[in-house]
A = this chain, B = another copy of it.
Amino acid sequence: MEVVQELEYIGLFSMAARQLHRLEAGPARHWSVPSGGRVLHRGDHLFRSGDRSQSVYRVIGGVLKSYFIHQNGDEQIMGFYLPGDLIGFDALSGESASFSVVALDTASVMRESQDSVSVDAPFSATLDRQLQACMRMEVFRLARLLRMARSGTDARLACFLLDYSEAQASRGYDRYEFHLPMGRKDLACYIGLVPETVSRVFSRLRDRGILRVENNHICILDHAALKALAVEDQG
Contact = CB atoms under 8 A, between A and B. Distances in A.
Interface of A: 70-74, 76, 78, 89-90, 92-95, 98, 122-123, 125, 128-129, 131-133, 135-136, 138-140, 142-143, 145-147, 149-150, 192, 231-234
A233 B73 contact: yes
Chain copies in the assembled complex = 2
A122 B192 CA distance: 41
A139 B135 contact: yes
Contacts of A76: 143, 146-147, 150
A7 to B, nearest CB: 12
Nearest to A133: B93
B138 A139 contact: yes
A68 to B, nearest CB: 8
Contacts of A150: 76, 149, 192
Nearest to A149: B149
A73 to B, nearest CB: 7
13 contacts: A72-B232, A74-B234, A76-B146, A78-B143, A93-B129, A93-B132, A93-B133, A94-B129, A128-B128, A138-B139, A145-B146, A149-B149, A149-B192
